[in-house]
Structure 1
Amino acid sequence: MATIVGIEADGGAVLAGDRRLTQGGTVSSERKRHVFDFGAVGAAAVGDSGAIDEFRRRLDAEIRSHETEADEPMGIDRLAAVASDIAADEGVEAIVAGRDDDGPCVRGVGGDGGVLTDEAVAFGSGAQLALGVLEGREEGLDVDAAAELAREAIAAAADRDTDTGADVDAYRLEASA
């Protein structure tokens, strides 16, 4: 299934995910993107391949529409609400990164559409292993340290979960952007 993580840091937020796609217990690709850069916001998703593609396509359309109509990036609360509706429709789990009044932050979105506001979130087949790494993190990480921690969390999952691959994509949302 793959593994995705999201971390809030001092001065930013980070999303990361591996590129492995498994179907029926067999690795079918090592090039499936699970992390998406929409410019001022980002997202990561796990689930069936077609559902991930549809989640990305629909979320991209909603983000572009909002930015055109409002002439500003979508805030985290609106982004999480839109992602929640799409994730519930498509049956994916997702993590989104955007801004609120205090700066960059992440929200986890369950397959049922529920939204988590934790500072560190993980979904996918290696989520428990990744969360073990994330829960041991130091407070006050900067964005560079959070990006490294996200990669370490995915690597820890890949070591023990055959559905998580070693190739990692990441999205960084800096406070100064």
Structure 2
Amino acid sequence: MATIVGVEGDGGVVLAGDRRLTRGGTVSSERKRHVFDFGAVGAAAVSETGGIDEFRRRLDSEVRSHETEQGDPMGIDRFASVASDVAAAEGVEAIVAASEDGTPRVRGIGSDGGVVTDAAVAFGSGAQLALGVLEGREDRLSADEAEELAREAVETAADRDTDTGAEIDTYRLSGDADSA
């Protein structure tokens, strides 16, 4: 199923996820993206049912529409609400990143559409392993430390979970709403 994590730090937020796609216990691909960069907002998604591509497509459409109509990027609450509706419809678990009054935030989205507001979130087959790494984190992380922690959490999951791969993608949103 893959593993995705989201971490808030003082200087920004980071989403990370591996690229493994498994079906029926067999690795189908090592190139499946689970982390998506929509510019001023980002998302990561996992699913057992395969709705990831549709989740990405629909979320991208909603983000573009909002930016065209409003002239500004979506804030975290609006983005989480939109992602919640799409995640519930597609049966995916997701983590989204966006700013709130200039401060980057993450929100976890369950496959039922429920929203988690924790500063560190993990979903997927290696979520428990990743959360073990995230739980031991320090409260005040720089953006670089948050990225290092997110990568470490996914790497730890990959070491022990056969559905999590070693190839990792990240999305980073800094305090000035730039991604890297």
User: When the two structures are superposed, what TM-score results if normalisation uses the length of structure 2?
Assistant: 0.97
Match of 1:73, as an amino acid? P
**Counterpart residue number, 2:111:** 111
**One-letter identity of the residue aligned with 1:64:** R
Q: What SS is found at the alignment partner of 1:147?
A: helix
1:77 matched to which residue of 2? 77
- Whole-Å separation in 1 of the counterparts to 2:12 and 2:49: 29
What's the counterpart of residue 58 of structure 1?
58
Structure 2: gaps of 5 or more residues: none
Aligned to 2:168: 168
Residue in 2 that maps onto 1:47: 47
Cα distance in 2 for residues equivalent to 1:48 and 1:163:
11
The residue matched to 2:51 in structure 1 has which SS?
helix
Give the Å deviation of 1:121: 0.1
Spell out, residue by residue over 1:33-77, the C-alpha distance to the aligned partner (whole angstroms, 9 max, x if none): 000000000000001474000000000000000000000000000
- Compute the displacement of 1:11 (Å): 1.5
2:42 pairs with 1:33? no
Work out the CA distance in 2 between the residues paired with 1:11 and 1:152. Answer: 18
Identity %: 76
Counterpart CA distance in 1 for 2:49 and 2:17 is 14
Q: Summarize deviations over 1:115-167 as a string: whole Å, max 9, x none.
A: 00000000000000000000001111000011010000001000110000000
The residue number in structure 1 matching 2:122 is 122
Q: Is the 8 A contact 1:44 1:94 kept in 2?
A: yes
Q: In 2, distance between residues paired with 1:21 and 1:88?
A: 20
CA distance in 2, matches of 1:118, 1:50: 26
Once residues 102 and 131 of structure 2 are traced to their aligned partners in structure 1, the CA distance between those partners, rounded to angstroms, is: 24
Q: CA RMSD in A?
A: 0.9
Q: Is 2:134 aligned against 1:134?
A: yes
Which blocks of at least 5 consecutive residues in structure 1 are unaligned?
none
Q: Secondary structure at the match of 2:112?
A: coil
Secondary structure of 1:36's match?
Answer: strand
Indicate conservation of the 8 Å contact 1:11/1:176, yes or no. Answer: no
